[in-house]
Amino acid sequence: MSELKKSTRTSFAEAIVEVGEENPDVVTVAADSASRYGDFIKKFPERSFNVGIAEQTMVSVAAGMALCGKIPVVTSYANFLAFRAAEQIRVDVAGSKLNVKLIGTDTGFSSAWLGFTHLALEDIGVIRAIPGIVIIDPADAAEAYTATKAIFEYNGPVYMRLRGRKEEPVIFNKKKDFKIGKGEVMKEGKDALIIACGNAVYDSLKASEVLQSRGIKVTLVNMPTVRPLDEDLLLELTSLIDNIITVEHHNTTGGLGSAVAEFLTEKRPQIRQLRLGVKDRFGTAGSEDMLKREFGLDTESIVISIENFLKNKTDLGRKK
């Protein structure tokens, strides 16, 4: 990890301008959310559209543009995109497998003090219930940059999660390779396997270092693509390690933990799995650090939960 900090939204905005320069068919459609596109609108005003505060209309307009051969990008708060426009995403985009890129921002705890209406903790579950949409949750700004480039090399609907304007630690190099459907082993150890996505990768990495100092060696996997999962990597690693922990800034129902559990139930039924995330609750107003502690997703809480899991205790979760 470097000392550099940057927001995933800023990194996406940089990448989308470069993509637009390379491909004249890329267009943006906003629901009064044009600022998320950075300088794209200044550079390409004729390819930038704003439908006002109307996410359903935004998605349907994008679907129409895709039918005309364009590659539309839509973006809004993840909750407003995933929930308010769910029918349009399902019927207009996914039903016809249209090449629309759906960008949900301010995910996880990044909406902070805006409270549960804006805290996107169930959006992956909504999109996962709709067939045929690739789902990506990049770990940091560098991965958001390369993932943005990658989704335009894929012909079909994609939902990608970004956080807010706040700068976050950069884990990876901006030039890192990104392939849809591929996970990345960041640390290797035999005692447990941690699989994390999105903003949870950072605290999972810190937790793995604390665990190592206490004699617990873990393998850590960054799994930015929630669908399709890197099934080959999961099969390879679970043939060697049978204690699995998933970590995500999302509800444990419907997110990364569910996706991994569904796959392993069929392929590796002997595996023990602990799903760390928000457990059947709505978010609440607070700073990101406060919320991570509240939901047991800060570094110390992750360490405690994993230690208890490996000791086969039941008192998992946030610190008391």
What tens digit of pLDDT does each residue of 249-304 get? Answer: 999 999 999 999 999 999 998 899 999 999 999 999 999 999 999 999 999 999 99
CB count within 10 Å of CB 312 equals: 8
Residues 225, 147, single domain; the answer is no
pTM above 0.75, yes or no: yes
CATH number at residue 69: 3.40.50.970
Distance CA 136, CA 253 (A): 17
Distance CA 134, CA 29 (A): 20
**Strand locations in 78-148 (E):** 101-105, 134-136
Distance CA 66, CA 54 (A): 19
Domain assignment of residue 62, yes or no: yes
Residues 6+ apart with CB under 8 A from 277: 200, 246, 247, 248, 249, 250, 251, 252, 255, 256, 257, 295, 297
Residues 122, 259, single domain; the answer is no
Please name the residue that has the structure tokens 């999302």.
250
Residue 317, pLDDT above cutoff 60: no
Residue 145: phi and psi, rounded to 5, are -65, -50
Residues 85, 202, single domain; the answer is no
Mean pLDDT of 43-51: 95
Residues 165, 194, single domain; the answer is no
> Residue 278 belongs to what domain range?
184-318
Q: Which of 169, 200, 220 is the last residue of a domain?
A: 169
For residue 320, the model assigns a pLDDT of 38
Distance CA 206, CA 225 (A): 21
CB count within 10 Å of CB 225 equals: 25
pLDDT bucket at 47, cuts 50 / 70 / 90: very high
Mean pLDDT of 147-158: 97
Residue 175, pLDDT above cutoff 70: no
Q: Which of 119, 141, 169 is the last residue of a domain?
A: 169
pLDDT bucket at 165, cuts 50 / 70 / 90: confident
State which amino acid sits at residue 147.
Answer: A
Residues 164, 232, single domain; the answer is no
Q: Number of folded domains in the chain?
A: 2
220, 196 in Cβ contact below 8 A? yes
Residue 316, pLDDT above cutoff 90: no
Distance CA 209, CA 202 (A): 11
